Structure 1
Amino acid sequence: MSSVEELTELFSKVGFEEPKIKEIVKNKKVSTSLETLLEDAPAGYEWNKSTRNFLHSLASLVKGAEISNIGLVVKGIASEDLKTALQVNAAFKYIKEHGADATTESMNENSGVGIEVTDVEVRASVVKYIEDNKETILHDRYKLVPGIFANIKNLPELKWADPRSFKPIIDEEILKVLGPKDERDLVKKKTKKQTDNKKGKGTTASATGITSDEPKRTMFTEGFLGDLHKVGENPQAFPELMVEHLKATGGKVRTRFPPEPNGYLHIGHSKAIMVNFGYAKHWDGVCYLRFDDTNPEAEAPEYFESIKRMVSWLGFAPWKITYSSNYFDELYNLAEVLINNDRGYVCHCTAQEVKKCRGIKEDGTPGGERSACTHRSNSIEQNLKEFRKMKEGHYQPGEATLRMKMNIESPNPQMWDLVAYRVLNAPHPRTGTKWKIYPTYDFTHCLVDSFENITHSLCTTEFYLSRQSYEWLCDQVHVFRPAQREYGRLNITGTILSKRKIAKLVEEKFVRGWDDPRLFTLEGIRRRGVPPGAILNFINTLGVTTSTTNIQVARFENAVRKYLEDTTPRLMFVLDPIEVIVENVADDFEEVVSIPYRAGTPKFGDRSVPFTKKFYIERSDFSEDASDAEFFRLTPKQDVGLVRVPHTVSFIRLEKDNSGKITKLYVNYNNAPLKEGEKSKKPKTYIQWVPISSKFNSPVRIDETRVYNQLFHSENPSAHEGGFLKDINPDSEVVYKHAVIEHNYHEVIKSAPWVVDSIKESEFYVEEDKTTKETFRFQGMRVGYFTMDKESTDDKIILNRIVSLKDSTSK
């Protein structure tokens, strides 16, 4: 990277003025990116004010990241094909998503290059918008103008228009409708009391999308979630059903989180939980926790209970807990309605025959010729008879299914006569042996959404193609059609989330169980000590879009580390201790020092720690090699400072055991009065220490300290040529047996979790159950962030490392 002087000279040549240059070079990531972007500019290009500003904006978006083909955007700016900030942002988004596969043509297409929207077209759209909302505008007058501007800006036909032309046109057209401002348009100043009473989530938009007050910006009002329809706006094949729906919901948002109880939730589910529960909560609606329990062969009571725990742990309370099995009778009745409408038939094909009809070739690839099932033309009466025989147990699994008569010629595989019911000889955890047949996800999901009057059925984009079959089925049986909308899922790279693969890790004892802290199951993340608020904050920073979010473990851990930085007290903690004896003080020597639990945060308070004749330091904080100029801690020729202790200590001698391992260090406490004119020598660094004091019951001895690292070596363990088990990191768990910690450990436990008021005021703060061990968290100074493991007892303390410190050092 170039020096500040070199960057200043470079940016000056481009044409940036001095104040702007100072602003840019203050941000290393932006200045580095800007320097790199300039290398992609056409040789000899002269930047004008507009293109310079766009280039700076682009550097702010890149922010130090390495993005393939980013030079295409630079060239688009230089050629002035990208003429607005919106186009530059769109081009950047395209390049970021497509990287090495990006082309100039596709970038231009995705960023509106060549699309010219004239002032005449802008005016026509403004006039139409004002006419469509005339009644509201006449009522609320000029205070709506900021909202009108925002809504005009979001009109699809004006996406690529220059927004600078909007205001004068809007002002002209509003003046024609309202005339000049008068006393009705005077804004009354609110008193402090009135303002305080208004504090909250912000105003909900009306059906027209216009609001008088600016709503608070959150993940629920921007991006994918911000673009969702209002309650009652989703179209229906039978409009009268919407009237009944609005009566049932009272016009309020209803969502649902519908997990299958066949395994433990993982980090990806936390996004689904937050999207569904959080969206409903934000709009003062309700959210169901609905168990999709239609596969009794894979379900177990422990999964039901774990899912409930994890939803609660993340800070959400379901409006109601329901089960798909609650509706088995209603679902069966609708299956008969489907048959009576000649939209369902019983199929006796084998699995292989079904694949062949769907055009699936023998090698498993699609693209073959599709054909109708031979049973598709059976009569309604015959299908009803066969379906009832299925229900009564006349068929074994695989011998008969109920399929939906959809459109086998559709390009959408989700319309290829999906299975609605199949035979399963398995008792159900909740209905026992009542049923021999069970509905499939494709039949159950949309209908139960309808029964529960769900206003927003939010799921991940893998179900995008299912939207067509979802709506088709609701219409065929004449029920309210909820609106399914799809967002991008959250993936963590460098780990595995597959239930089957995690089960293999558990069964073969590579991990301690489904809640092993190295796993990214929510149970494992909780046991590791990650606060639920850290997860919610992390998801909020990512936002919600229709693109899959692939996040490296390191980025997730960095977000957790930042949260812990603000919410944990510090304690002196030594993983691998060496006993140190001060030779020049009395046996009963004691000097009590005051140390803040978190420097710079007075609300955390201070604690007292006795500096005594004997104490422990970290083994790695002493080196026998006094010639190493890069080692700043204690050596035979180098003093070291102890945190908050007034004077340094210097080495005298050491003791070793038969194996050559150092067992004790003897030092001098340099507390002698200074001679006249002599200045105390400041140590190169300070290290943590833990006193040995029976009076203070110090140290507290830790039976096991488990330091966790990434479970796998690579970013994609499943791609390892020897299988994912061959990619396991043998040092993913390192256990220390003799760690010690200062006695204030007990005080920190009593007050856990440590949360200051500023955190409690956060939108995503979660109040935790203080009786659970993982709420005890602290920063071991210079070591990392730790929590208490669930196996820990008063007699046998076990700690888990949550994450390492952000700024580790070898000095």
Structure 2
Amino acid sequence: MKKLLNLSAPRMRKLAGNMATDKMKLFTSIGLSDQKAKETLKNDAVSQNLADVIVEAQKGNQDAVFSRTTGNLLYHVGTRMKAQILAHRPTLIQYITEAKIASETQLNAAMDYLLHNPKPPIAIKDFETSCGVGAVVSPEDIERVVEGLIKKYKDQLNEKRYRFNMGLLMGEVRKELPWADFKAVKYEIDMAVLDLLGPKTEQDMKPLPKQKASGGNAKKEAKEKSNKRTEADLDLSNVKITTDGLIGPDGKLKSFLEMAGESQKFHKPGENYKTDGYVITSNTHEILKKHLKETGGQSLNGITYLRYDDTNPEKEEEKFFVGIKDMVEWLGYTPYKITHSSDYFQELYDLAVEMIKRDHAYICHQRSDEIKGYNPPPSPWRNRPISESLTLFEDMKKGKIDEGDATLRMKTTLEDGKQDPVAYRIKFTRHHRSKDAWCIYPTYDYTHCLCDSIENITHSLCTKEFQARRSSYYWLCNVLDLYCPVQWEYGRLALNYTVVSKRKIGKLISEKIVRSWDDPRLFTLTALRRRGFPPEAINMFCGKVGVTMSQVTLDPTMLEACVRDVLNVTAPRAMAVLEPLKVKILNLPSNAPREISVPNFPADEKKGFHKVPFSDVIYIEQNDFRELGVFKIFKFVLFGKDSKDSLVFNRTVSLKEASGKDS
């Protein structure tokens, strides 16, 4: 039998520390800064992959030092390489260390080739051709291509001068000379433009004049002004907020819906009060009839689903799922059911097949970079035969088509003009719930509305940036003859002096400016809970602001005022002196009471009192005392603090709850 290795906790910590030190040394050997190396260490999988890559590149020489270019390329191999081509990692490392692959463009081309040809052995000649190994681009080649482009765009350059988009020239050079040194390309373009236009003039340096708003722009400016007025109207930082009207007949704080007063404004199931774009078809009546039968046709007091959109297997993390559920329950809401989009993968696939059969979707082979941005070229496969799309979609499901080589696109146009959004894409990545059952995954645009329909949702609420997707939401449900919920949008709520964007907070965490999502300096729900904010205060704050389409920015003092209001009716009062200063009352009468009654809740004396001992010796906070005046006399009477609200010599002050009981 093999002897088991039994390590104590201190020994294991020491061993882990040594391993981290070794990895730090490896990471800095390829040119990573100490900060970047420490960040990389936090991801166990990435740091281990990168360490393996560096060790392999060292070839037994632990003191090997790599150039900055080689180090960057090795870093990309360790952090970007897909799992399905890991078997080819030694080949890539060899080409990098031998300087046959010397740029990120070449490395990306090499990994793309391997993704399309993952089975060994590698066809070396094709591989080297695809990633430019041995390709030599001379200065004369660069000069020739740039000269041709300058002639092509000469009129536009003369007209716009240095305001011309030079990135357009760089892009065209990249197409013709993909393996060129782009520092040399940029230098050549700069010299050619300087030769054509001469040095920059004062006119070239001036900022562009602002154009007068007209038509849609005027409307947009008016809307922005309206929003600003809304923000100003909602700035309640100097307004005293009370609990008047916030306590229900049962003596408890009212719910969010009672405070917001918005519940009655939503449509009732089956009514024709719809948001813009809702489509009525010949089947709508029957579909709604079936929906009402299944849901019971309730108008209020319905149920709420908590559904996680887990359609991207590369970005799902269990801690976010747990955190969202935790915060929802902390706010006082218990979902009727917790679901995941992945629960409906089979239904979504079946509906996609039906959509192809109805000629509302097709398989497209354009790459992702070809359909990005505005006005991309139309797909040449839009009108391919239905039977061909069905066969290809089945091949996608079975893993016969490489990642990035095919997508399922819907035949519709979004409000922003984007044509044929993607419904399904290929990702050879293990899903945290469905495991390896699928290698094609639906997009949010495709999944959201269909899951709402499957779950018989009546009110689908989302923030305003999803308004551009409303038309595809309604279109998709109707072309498949499914029950179509109503999508409602509302404006985001922002706060001054803080960051609320998930993307921006994530960057603050990654750059070590804040510790985590619950850092008390943030205004995330977890951070507010850590600071001691009661959930009732969050609900009160949202109820007071209400639901609006406008983007509003409020001052945090309004939220803090809601916290005070909640604590006034929920937190019994207690007293503490953190930095005590002993005070002797010289003229306290001998018959003065030795106990004082203090209300448990200052705003509501009906909730009872508690006794506080009282004598000629009391304690105050040190920072509440300042030595001013000349007489060393100190007596207590009603309302005797100075203008700075501190106790001072030769001034009269009062003891709270004891006023009138002392002389």
Q: TM-score, normalised by structure 1?
A: 0.45
1:432 aligns with 2:435: yes
Whole-angstrom distance in 1 between the partners of 2:542 and 2:347: 37
Using the TM superposition, give the Cα deviation of residue 460 of structure 1 relative to its aligned residue in structure 2, in angstroms: 2.2
Q: What does residue 227 of structure 2 align with?
A: 97
After TM superposition, the structure 1 = structure 2 runs for residues 384-783 of structure 1, keeping only pairs within 5 Å, are: 384-407=390-413, 412-413=415-416, 416-580=419-583, 591-599=594-602, 601-611=604-614, 615-626=618-629, 630-631=643-644, 633-638=646-651, 640-645=653-658, 680=663
SS in structure 2 opposite 1:355?
coil
User: Which residue is 1:661 aligned to?
Assistant: none
**Counterpart in the other structure of 1:242:** 288
Match of 2:311 in 1: 294
Task: Please list the CA deviations of residues 489-518 of structure 1 after superposition, one character each: whole Å capped at 9, or x if unmatched.
Answer: 322232112223323433454444312233
Matched AA of 2:455: E
Question: Is 1:303 matched with 2:433?
Answer: no
Deviation at 1:96, TM superposition (A): 4.5
Superposed displacement of residue 616, structure 1: 3.1
Distance 1:517 1:375, change over 3 A: same
Cα RMSD, aligned residues only: 3.5
How far is 1:583 from its partner? 8.2
The 1:421–1:467 alpha-carbon spacing in structure 2 relative to 1, beyond 3 Å, is same
Render the CA deviation track for 1:442-492: whole Å, top value 9, x for unaligned. 000111111111222222222222111111111222222222222223222
1:544–1:381 distance in 2 versus 1, CA, 3 Å: same
- What amino acid is the match of 1:608? K
The answer to whether the 8 A contact 1:287-1:319 is kept is: yes
1:363-390, Cα deviation, whole Å (9 max, x unpaired): xxxxxxx541122232222222222222
Q: Report the number of matched residues.
A: 399
C-alpha deviation, 1:427, in angstroms: 1.8
SS of corresponding position for 2:363? strand
1:747-793 deviations in Å (ceiling 9; x for gaps): xxxxxxxxxxxxxxxxxxxxxxxxxxxxxxxxxxxxxxxxxxxxxxx
- Matched with 1:383 is 389
Change over 3 Å in CA distance of 1:415–1:99 after alignment to 2:
same
Q: In structure 2, what is the Cα distance between the partners aligned to 1:451 and 1:539?
A: 30
- Measure how far apart 1:227 and its partner are: 5.3
CA gap 1:616/1:513 in 2 versus in 1, 3 angstroms: farther
**Structure richer in strand, relative to its length:** 1
- 2:637 maps to none
1:358-369 matched pairs, under 5 angstroms: 358-359=374-375
1:473 and 1:96 map into 2 onto residues whose CA distance is 34
Q: Which AA in structure 2 matches 1:219?
A: G
Distance 1:242 1:645, change over 3 A: closer
- Pairwise CA distance, 1:325: 0.8
**Distance in 1, Cα, partners of 2:485 & 2:642:** 69
Q: In 2, distance between residues paired with 1:615 and 1:593?
A: 13
1:723 counterpart residue number: none
Q: Structure 1 pair 479/646, CA: closer, same or farther in 2 (3 Å)?
A: closer
Distance 1:447 1:616, change over 3 A: same
Q: Is 1:219 matched up with 2:349?
A: no
Question: Quick one: which amino acid aligns to residue 241 of structure 1?
Answer: I
Q: 1:647 to 1:405 in 2, by over 3 A?
A: closer
Q: CA deviation at 1:236?
A: 3.9
| Cα deviation, residue 550, structure 1 | 2.4
Q: Could you say what secondary structure the match of 1:286 adopts?
A: coil
The answer (yes or no) to whether the contact 1:345–1:403 under 8 Å persists in 2 is yes
Q: Which amino acid aligns with 1:419?
A: V
Q: Deviations over 1:157-198 (max 9, x none)?
A: xxxxxxxxxxxxxxxxxxxxxxxxxxxxxxxxxxxxxxx9xx
Match for residue 323 of structure 1?
340
The question of 1:333 aligning with 2:350 is answered: yes
Moved more, 302-311 or 433-442: 302-311
Q: Which amino acid aligns with 2:312?
A: N
Contact 1:487 1:547 in 2 (8 A): yes
Equivalent residue of 1:293, what SS?
Answer: coil
* Offset, 1:97: 3.3
Which structure 1 segments of 5+ residues have no match?
A: 1-91, 101-195, 202-214, 254-282, 360-369, 649-670, 672-679, 681-811
SS in 2 for 1:458: strand
1:621, distance to aligned residue in structure 2 (A): 1.4
SS at match of 1:346: strand
Instruction: Find the aligned partners of 1:567 and 1:509 in 2 and give their Cα distance.
Output: 37
How many angstroms apart in 2 are the aligned matches of 1:580 and 1:216? Answer: 49
**Residues 219 and 544, structure 1, Cα contact 8 Å, conserved in 2:** no
Q: Which has the higher helix share?
A: 2
Aligned in 2, Cα 1:448/1:571: closer, same or farther, shift over 3 Å? same
1:404-450 superposed Cα distances (whole Å, 9 cap, x missing partner)? 1224xx7x236510010112232222111111111001000111111
| 1:351 equivalent in alignment to 2:396 | no
Q: Cα–Cα, structure 1 residues 561 and 299, in superposed 2: closer, same or farther, change >3 Å?
A: same
Q: State how far apart, in whole Å, the 1-side matches of 2:316 and 2:581 are.
A: 51
Alpha-carbon distance in structure 1 between the residues aligned to 2:467 and 2:615: 67
SS in 2 for 1:468: helix
Corresponding residue SS for 1:413: coil
Distance 2:453 2:481 in 1: 10
Tell me how far apart the structure 2 counterparts of residues 571 and 637 of structure 1 sit (CA, whole Å): 30
Judged with a 3 Å threshold, the aligned counterparts in structure 2 of structure 1 residues 458 and 600 are, in CA distance, closer, same or farther, namely closer
Once residues 352 and 252 of structure 1 are traced to their aligned partners in structure 2, the CA distance between those partners, rounded to angstroms, is: 47
d(CA) in 2 for partners of 1:93, 1:221: 26
Contact (CA 8 Å) 1:414, 1:468: kept in 2 or not? no
Q: Alignment partner of 1:459: what SS?
A: strand
Structure 2 CA distance for aligned equivalents of residues 603 and 220 of structure 1 = 32
Structure 1 counterpart of 2:237: none
* Amino acid paired to 2:322: E
SS at match of 2:304: strand
Q: Residues 216 and 395 (structure 1 numbering): CA distance in 2 closer, same or farther, change over 3 Å? A: closer
Question: Following the alignment from structure 1 to structure 2, what is the Cα–Cα distance between the partners of residues 309 and 493?
Answer: 26
Q: Report the Cα distance in structure 2 between the residues aligned to 1:400 and 1:355, rounded to whole angstroms.
A: 15
Structure-2 change in CA distance of 1:434 and 1:634 (3 Å) = same
From the superposition, tell whether residues 98 and 307 of structure 1 become closer, same or farther in structure 2 (CA, over 3 Å). closer
Aligned-partner Cα distance in 1 for 2:227–2:450: 35
> What is the percent sequence identity of the aligned residues?
43
CA displacement, residues 326-347 of structure 1 (integer Å, 9 cap, x when unaligned): 1000101111111222221222
Gaps of 5+ in 2: 1-221, 231-248, 631-640
